[in-house]
Amino acid sequence: MKNEFKYIIHHTGDTKKDTAKAKAMFPMTCARDARKFHSHIPGYHMTPLVALPNLAHLLGIGGIYVKNESKRLRMNSFKVMGGSYAVYRLIKQILGREDEDLTFEYLTSPECHAALGDVVFCSATDGNHGRGLAWVCNKLGLPCKIYVHSETSQPRIDAIASFGAEVTVVNGNYDDAVRQAAEDAKANGWYVVSDTSWPGYEKIPTWIMQGYNSIMLEVQEQFSGLGIVKPTHVFVQAGVGAMAASVVGFYSAIFPDDPPVFVVVEPDKAPCIYESIAAGDGQCHSVKGDLDTIMAGLACGDPSPIAFEILKDNADIFIQVPDNVAARGMRILGCPLSGDPMVISGESGAVPLGTLFALLTDEISADLKAALKLDEDSTVFFVNTEGNTDPIEFRRILWDGKNPTPARFRVKE
C-alpha cells in the first residue's frame, strides 16, 4: 500500500537554489549575537544533541540526531529563544542603544525600567511562543499580554498565566488571535512581539528567527565535536514557518554550495506553507477552517511572508501528514529501541521523526524516494521543538493510543 502523503518536490539536484536572502537574514554575526545574549540568561545551558543509532540502523540510514529543546531553560520548548532575543533587540531600539551590548542585570534594573517607561509587550500564540514571551517578561519585570484562540487547551493557558501574563481568549483560530492582538496593541500603544510577519511588520519576526539561530550555533558546535561537518538531511516542522526558515536559512547561509536536503513537514489540516508552494505563484496563501490538528504549535493558516521567502528559495521537499504520524513519532521517541535514549516530545516536536519513519517503512513513490536520497550514508537531523506541554493530551496519545497508526501502515513482522 503506497503512503498517501501529499508532497511537492520543489528543488532537486538539477535546480539552482537562491541563497541570497538566507545569507542576508541569517549572517553568522547575528547567530553569535543571539548566543551571547542567551548565555547571560540565568539558568542557560546548551541543550542535548541526542543520537538514535539503533533506530538509524533499523531504518537503514547512517545516523539520526535530535536537538532536544524540551530541556531549554525549563521551558519545555525552543520558543523562548526567539522571543527573548526579540525583546532584547526591541528594548535596545526603544532606548536608542542598538550598538551596545546590554547585560541581563541591566535589563532587570530600576534604571532600565525608568528609561523604558510604561511599555507593554503582547503577542498571539498557540501556547509555546506566548509562554516563552511571558517567561522573559516575568524575568525582566515587564508587563505582558498574551492572546490565545478558543481551542487552546487549559494547561497551555495556565502555563502562560503562571508567569504573570494577562491571557485573553479570542473566538476563532490562531490567525484570529494574531489579528486581535495586533488591533489591541495599535489601540493601546503596546509592542507586538509576534513570530509571524505581515506587510509592515517584519523586523521583530526577523529578530525572533535570528534568535532561533542561537540553537543552530549550538548544534554545529555539537556536530563538530562528533566529527560531523553538517547533516546530509534536515527534517523540519512548520507552522507559520519561522522555525523552519531559521533552520533552513542557517544551513543555506553557511553551506550555500552544498546544503543539506531540506524536508518541510506540516499537518494536513493546516498546510499553509505547502499550499503556498503548490500555488506556484511565489505568494503566500491562507488555509481556512478550524485547523483542527493535535499539532497545536503548527495549527496556523497564514504563512509568515518573510519565512516563506526563505523556504521557497531553499527547501527541497514539502510534505503534509496526518495527525497519526506525529502521534507515532511521540511513541517512538518515548519508547525507543533498546540502547537508544528516551526523548519526551510533544506532537509538534515529534512529527519530523514520525515522517522520517513513515517514509522509510512504508512504500512511497519512486520520484519521492529519488528526491529524498536517503541511504546508509545519510545523517538526518531534526529539532524536538517541545516536550510534554499538554500533559492531558500527551497521556491520551501515549497511554490511551489516541491517533493510532492505520493498520496498513503499521510495522510489519
Please report which helix (H) or strand (E) contains residue 169, including its range: strand 166-170
| Total count of domains within the chain | 2
102 in Cβ contact with 88 (< 8 Å): yes
Beta strand segments in 225-329, E: 233-237, 261-267, 317-321
pLDDT recorded at residue 3 = 67
Residue 126 annotated among the catalytic residues of the structure: yes
Pair (233, 363) in one structural domain: yes
CA 372 to chain centre: 21
Q: Which pLDDT tens digits describe the chain residue by residue (413 residues)? A: 466 789 999 997 666 799 999 999 999 999 999 999 999 999 999 999 999 999 999 999 999 999 999 999 989 999 999 999 999 999 999 999 999 999 999 999 999 999 999 999 999 998 789 999 999 999 999 999 999 999 898 988 999 999 999 999 999 998 899 999 999 999 999 999 999 999 999 999 999 999 999 999 999 999 999 999 999 999 999 999 999 999 999 999 999 999 999 999 999 999 999 999 999 999 999 999 889 999 999 999 999 999 999 999 999 999 999 999 999 999 999 999 999 999 999 999 999 999 999 999 988 999 999 999 999 999 999 999 999 999 999 999 999 999 999 988 888 76
Asked whether residue 218 is domain-assigned, the answer is yes
> Which residue range(s) make up the domain with 149?
79-203
Has residue 1 been placed in a domain? Answer: no
Return the SS3 of 380: strand
64: number of CA atoms within 13 Å, CB side? Answer: 28
What b/e sequence results for 361-396 when a residue is b if at least 16 CB atoms lie within 10 Å of its CB, and e otherwise? bbebeeebeebbebeeebbbbbbbbbbbbbeebbee
With 0.75 as the threshold, say if the pTM is over it: yes
Same-domain status, 20 and 112: no
**Cα–Cα dist 45/17, whole Å:** 35
Q: How far apart are CA 313 and CA 21, in angstroms?
A: 8
Let me know if residue 391 belongs to a domain. yes
| CA 328 – CA 332 distance, rounded (Å) | 6
Kindly report the number of other CB atoms within 10 A of residue 266's CB atom: 28
> Do both 131 and 187 map to the same domain?
yes
Judge whether 135 and 125 are in contact, CB under 8 Å.
Answer: no
The predicted structure's pLDDT at residue 151: 86
Other beta carbons less than 10 A from residue 42's beta carbon: 9
Q: Which residues pair with 233 in a beta bridge?
A: 261, 380
Q: Are residues 20 and 87 in the same domain?
A: no
Shared-domain flag, residues 240 and 282: yes
Q: Out of 203, 233, 249, pick the residue that ends a domain.
A: 203
Find out whether 302 and 286 touch, Cβ atoms under 8 Å: yes
Residue 65 identity (one-letter amino acid): Y
**Catalytic-labelled residue, pool 79, 139, 269, 312:** 79
CATH code: domain of residue 191: 3.40.50.1100
**DSSP secondary structure string, 245-268?**
HHHHHHHHHH-TTSPPEEEEEEET
Domain closes at, from 149, 181, 203: 203
Distance CA 42, CA 111 (A): 20
Of 203, 232, 251, at which residue does a domain stop? Answer: 203
Q: Partners of 122 in the beta sheet? A: 145, 192
Contact between 196 and 242 under an 8 Å Cβ cutoff? The reply is yes
**Active-site residue, from 21, 33, 71, 126:** 126
Specify whether 210 is located in the same domain as 199. no
